[in-house]
């Protein structure tokens, strides 16, 4: 009872303190450093409750899969349990009895969301100088001959206008949208055909994809996964259902092995329309592409040479971060997704990664 009342007091005091810090510190810092952002969207929060154990375990599982070493003591602390003393009776899944000491029991069987972002990660959306402070949704502003609108995602979107060809040029003062994407039709495919086409990619490009075998893809199909190839058998993608999230999928193994330019973008747009809601990608180039399609970063891992994919080309790609992304586009309409991509609806993401010395 005493502990319960004490926690109530802590929660009450923390609530008052976080309001004070929000208004007197956080909002002012945001207003001074990012004048284009609506500071009222942010709050300083103090956690007084025990962190969600399930989410923490999922984060640990993802970290474990990426090669991080995890102490058994940290797992026990998270669960709030002590290890058995010497000679003390205990219960344990028999399949783990022979594991090496210190190896996290059963961690690889858990699902997994985000670790915290590593220090090397820096992300910001570029804003031109002079945009209005504290804009309202729908507000527009013209700067340097370009018009911007503050959209419902609370970001400044550059507006593009279609003009006759004679008016489109370097001196027109306006930028036109990107040329339309290629019209690509995707159809369900067998895992064998999918792997056969995917593996036509050069080895250094296949290194960006998880090397699923046909047998592994068959197992995923049994759990609800979907496999697609373009009609010309050059571009494909895999949708793997997310646990406890009906109709939502992880986008995997998206590739373009000789199809039209940007056929991979067309594949990503169809995948989003079908429910793609989560993905992992390597490096800033893919990060910028998926950001343009409405995905946002929720976690990242630093590169580790020990777990580098086969055929990884360090001379070209160095040691990039691995990003975890979620779809926040709020639309599954294929034409609208394409329109937003072509007009850079979600803003321009500028990623700065601190260079790490080569090992």
CATH code of 236's domain: 3.40.630.30
> How many domains are there within the chain?
3
- C-alpha–C-alpha distance, residues 23 and 278, integer Å: 34
pLDDT of residue 350: 56
Residues 288 and 331 in one domain: yes
- What SS3 state is found at 212? coil
Host domain of residue 253: 186-353
Kindly write down the DSSP assignment for every residue of 46-60, as one continuous string: ---SPP-HHHHHHHH
Would residue 122 count as lying in a domain? no
Q: What is the pLDDT of residue 194?
A: 98
Instruction: Identify whether 346 is part of a domain.
Output: yes
DSSP string, 271-295: HHHTTEEEEEEESHHHHHHHHHTTE
Query: Residue 46 domain-assigned?
Result: no
Evaluated on CA atoms 94, 95, 98, 100, the torsion sign reads negative
Residue 198 lies in a domain: yes
Q: What is the CA radius of gyration of the chain?
A: 24
Phi and psi at residue 88, to the nearest 5°: -85, 140
Place of tokens 């891992």: 301
Residues 196 and 342 in one domain: yes
> Do both 221 and 284 map to the same domain?
yes
Closest alpha carbon to 228 in 258, 175, 263, 191: 191
**What confidence score (pLDDT) does residue 54 get?**
67
pLDDT at residue number 300: 83
Residues 110, 321: Cα–Cα separation, whole Å: 23
Helix (H/G/I), strand (E/B), else coil: 75: helix
Contact 247, 224 (CB under 8 A): no
* CB-based contact 197:233 (threshold 8 Å): yes
What parts of the chain have a pLDDT lower than 50? 1-5, 93-116, 118-125, 161-175, 354-359
Residue 89 lies in a domain: no
Tokens of 42: 């942010």
Whether 175 maps to a domain, the answer reads: no
pLDDT tens string 311-323 = 899 999 999 989 8
Q: Which residues, including other chains, have CB under 8 Å from residue 78's CB and lie 6 or more apart?
A: 51, 53, 56, 57, 60
Report the percent of the chain where pLDDT is more than 90: 37
Do 228 and 340 belong together in one domain? Answer: yes
Identify whether residues 132 and 206 lie together within a single domain.
no
Tell me if 121 is assigned to some domain.
no
pTM of the entire predicted model:
0.57
245 and 318 assigned to the same domain: yes
Same domain, 248 and 303: yes
| 87 within domain boundaries | no
User: Is there a single domain that holds both residue 150 and residue 246?
Assistant: no
- Could you tell me if 221 and 152 lie in one domain? no
- Co-location of 191 and 158 in the same domain: no
**pLDDT at 109 (0 to 100):** 35
333 with 284, same domain: the answer is: yes
């Amino acid at each position: 009872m005493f502990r319960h009342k004490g926690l109530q007091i802590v929660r009450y005091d923390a609530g008052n303190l976080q309001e004070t810090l929000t208004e007197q510190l956080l909002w002012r810092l945001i207003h001074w450093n990012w004048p284009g952002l609506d500071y009222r969207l942010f709050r300083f929060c103090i956690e007084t409750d025990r962190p969600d154990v399930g989410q923490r375990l999922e984060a640990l599982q993802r970290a474990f899969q990426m090669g991080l070493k995890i102490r058994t003591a940290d797992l026990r602390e998270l669960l709030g349990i002590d290890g058995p003393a010497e000679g003390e009776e205990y219960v344990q899944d028999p399949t783990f009895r022979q594991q090496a000491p210190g190896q996290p029991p059963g961690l690889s069987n858990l699902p997994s969301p985000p670790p915290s972002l590593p220090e090397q990660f820096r992300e910001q959306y570029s804003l031109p100088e002079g945009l209005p402070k504290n804009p309202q949704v729908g507000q527009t502003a013209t700067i340097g001959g370009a018009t911007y609108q503050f959209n419902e995602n609370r970001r400044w979107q550059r507006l593009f206008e279609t003009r006759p060809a004679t008016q489109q040029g370097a001196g027109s003062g306006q930028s036109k949208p990107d040329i339309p994407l290629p019209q690509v039709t995707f159809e369900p495919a067998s895992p064998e055909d999918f792997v056969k086409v995917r593996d036509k990619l050069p080895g250094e490009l296949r290194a960006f994809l998880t090397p699923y075998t046909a047998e592994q893809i068959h197992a995923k199909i049994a759990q609800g996964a979907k496999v697609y190839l373009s009609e010309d058998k050059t571009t494909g993608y895999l949708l793997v259902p997310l646990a406890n999230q009906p109709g939502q999928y992880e986008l995997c193994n998206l590739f373009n092995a000789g199809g039209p330019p940007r056929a991979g973008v067309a594949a990503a747009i169809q995948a989003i329309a079908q429910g793609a809601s989560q993905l992992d990608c390597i490096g800033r180039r893919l990060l910028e592409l998926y950001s343009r399609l409405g995905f946002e970063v929720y976690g990242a891992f630093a590169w580790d040479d020990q777990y580098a994919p086969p055929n990884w080309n360090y001379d070209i790609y160095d040691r990039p971060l691995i990003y975890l992304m979620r779809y926040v586009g709020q639309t599954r309409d294929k034409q609208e997704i394409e329109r937003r991509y072509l007009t850079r609806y979600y803003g321009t993401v500028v990623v700065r990664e601190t260079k790490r010395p080569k090992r």
